[in-house]
Structure 1
Amino acid sequence: MKKRILGTLGAAMAAMAVFVTPLHRAGAVEQNAAAGEDPAVLAEEIALGNIFLFPDEPAAASDVIPVDNPEPASEPAVTEARAKEEAQVRSGASDEAEAVFTMHQDETVQVLEQADGWCKVSYGIIEGYLPEDQLFVLTQEGYDGTVMKDGAVIRQAAEAEAAEVGKLYTGNGVRVMDYQNGCYKVSYKDAVGYVEAASLKLEGDFTAEAEVRYLKSGMSGEAVVRMQKELASRNYFTGEATGTFGDLTVKALKEFQTDAKVTASGEADAKTLELLYADNGIKKVIPTPTPKPTQTPSTGGSSNVPATQVKGKVQLVDWSIINRTIPRGYTGLQVIDVRTGISFNAKRKGGTVHMDTEPLTAADTAKLKQAYGGSWSWARRPVWVVYNGNYYAASMNGMPHADSTISDNNFPGHICIHFLNSETHAEPGIPQKVDPAHQACVQEAFNAGK
């Protein structure tokens, strides 16, 4: 490269010599000829730019070409950019163009033009082209940046071991000012420092900082949890509030946006979030299906259901199908304890890995407790779940836990009902999994009624 630069520089100097001194070439040749120099050789050397002419006497007025003296033009603003990674500067705006030289990470170039995803740049006296996405173009105001997941650390320097000066969370809108060593230099509230570039989504020109600029698919964190819970409270979101913005969240958000009469993009911008958290009546109406009447024979005034009533009717159905079949919020379920025949009415509260269920009334709670011998227990018991005249093999526990939606049933929480291949929730140190005890009860329920 050094050889190429020197060659280019020599050519530029030669051209300068030709244009600076043409008026005095003849006089210089004559003067040097009188001193014994070969005029032909001198003329050739001057033409080649190897000799610069500095006349002994000022030029006569007749030799000077008058030139207008306009106001000096103001220098154009210089736009600089920093290389995000090692990249090949090419002779043209194409990946197939010849590589002129290699730019190393964090080196700075001047940006001459930007078009069609490419930047024309200069590096010293060399010009070439780089893809825009390999450069961080420095501007006075900077850019909008949005945090994609919780826990992005702001550090004092662009180094993994540098001191921590702050933390960022999903949706935080920051100002991005510079790029160095794979990190963006940002400011947010009172903190200024460097954040790993992978933690941020770079937007357009800087507008303002924001607590939550937007939430969109692929993001995760507490801001997403809060949004999912609010969507669930309005009957749009039917999954677990895991904090991961996936397809189910996109679907729920689009439904909310449609009812809220804003663009149904599936992305939660500032306007959508304002409406979502506002005290308004935007809510999805879920019709309660009318259950198919189920005859429950009684013996001596009890609500026990004999196995003979269900024999040959029980189905062993995978949870993935049950989850799509029984609607969330449905209040017409009947749950029959296989071993005692005791039955109670119930509501499907929700659940994504199994069915969260609540006794419908205080009387139903008493029946559930009776099936467990008068005390609450985590023990698994085989049950038949009746929905629209269909009997499904299942397993339940008898311990009220977590939250509930019915306030007057004397049951502070809900129970879990499992079906074929359903799973338990993950707990600290325990992964989400298919529970063998529940599956054994599901099989017992099926065998008793098949």
Structure 2
Amino acid sequence: MVSIIVIICILLLLGVTFIHGYKDEDISVISNSIVNTNVTLAEEEKKINYESQGDSTDSIEFLCWDEINNDVFPRETEAEVEDIYTGKKFKIIRTMGDNHADCETITEDDTKVMKEIFGGFNWSKRPIVLHIGGKNYAASMSGMPHAGVDSAPAFAVVGGLSGGYGYGQNLDTIKNNNMDGVFDVHFINSRRHMEGGISDTVDMEHQKNIDIIRSYVR
């Protein structure tokens, strides 16, 4: 009788050890996955949410600026921005830009969503998917409207241009959207403007954001 009790105790002890070991191993795998990819649990969930909407990297086109500029996103074209990290969306119009797309929000509501995404207007850059004509394109945008005054006529020479641009031509063409000026949207191999001693080089931070889309959306 004593032998049977001893055997039962040993089996129970082995079972607890096995279960405990399995849980530790499982936690270790999850932890290593997060550390190795630098992706938080919330971001992992966003991947799943994005995929469940029927979108994937297979449905997102990674095109160079030369392909985008005149054929896909010419001036006066409307598009919808989707922020990769939050899933929030707002509508924009490309109004100008040669080396990249200079854009404006369409309405005050669009501007409100943009500010929610960026935490207000600032020069930070975020990976986005641009929805145009039923297709999806990888891009990156900055959150600072610049070179404009909403209350002044478009293309008039005025002072107090947004983004610290001072005195010059007003690039704000969409009025009453609660935003002064234009913001930048970049694609693969698009470049900065030549201004303030900065050459028209490829902005590597924007390019990195486009690469993030490849790994972020499954």
Common topology (TM > 0.5): yes
Output the amino acid matched with 1:334.
Answer: E
Larger radius of gyration between Structure 1 and Structure 2: 1
Deviation of 1:445 after TM superposition, in Å, equals 2.0
Q: Are 1:371 and 2:117 an aligned pair?
A: yes
The correspondence for 1:396, drawn from 131, 141, 149, is 141
The correspondence for 2:77, drawn from 314, 325, 330, is 330
Tell me how far apart the structure 2 counterparts of residues 329 and 369 of structure 1 sit (CA, whole Å): 22
**Which residue is equivalent to 1:415?**
183
The correspondence of residues 425-444 of structure 1 with structure 2, limited to 5 A, is 425-444=193-212
* Partners of 1:334 and 1:344 within 8 A in 2: yes
Q: Are 1:341 and 2:109 an aligned pair?
A: no
**Which residue is equivalent to 2:50?**
307
* Partners of 1:349 and 1:357 within 8 A in 2: yes
Output the amino acid matched with 2:131.
Answer: V
Gaps of 5+ in 2: 1-48, 148-170
Tell me how far apart the structure 2 counterparts of residues 348 and 430 of structure 1 sit (CA, whole Å): 23
Output the TM-score relative to the length of structure 1.
Answer: 0.31
**Percent of pairs with identical residues:** 36
The correspondence of residues 58-137 of structure 1 with structure 2, limited to 5 A, is none
CA RMSD of aligned residues (A): 1.3
Runs of 4+ in 1 over 3 A off after TM superposition: none
> 1:1-20: per-residue Cα shift (whole Å, max 9, x none)?
xxxxxxxxxxxxxxxxxxxx
* Partners of 1:385 and 1:393 within 8 A in 2: yes
> 1:311-342: per-residue Cα shift (whole Å, max 9, x none)?
131111000000022221113x1000111111
The correspondence for 1:424, drawn from 181, 184, 192, is 192
Gaps of 5+ in 1: 1-305
**Which residue is equivalent to 1:386?**
131
Deviation of 1:428 after TM superposition, in Å, equals 2.6
How many residues align? The count is 143
Tell me how far apart the structure 1 counterparts of residues 100 and 90 of structure 2 sit (CA, whole Å): 19
> 1:172-213: per-residue Cα shift (whole Å, max 9, x none)?
xxxxxxxxxxxxxxxxxxxxxxxxxxxxxxxxxxxxxxxxxx
Q: Are 1:448 and 2:210 an aligned pair?
A: no
* Partners of 1:396 and 1:418 within 8 A in 2: yes
**Which residue is equivalent to 2:101?**
355
Output the amino acid matched with 1:318.
Answer: C
**Which residue is equivalent to 1:240?**
none
Which structure carries more relative contact order (alpha carbon 8 Å, separation 6+)?
2
Q: SS where residue 378 of structure 1 aligns?
A: coil
More helix by share: 2
The correspondence for 2:64, drawn from 295, 318, 325, is 318
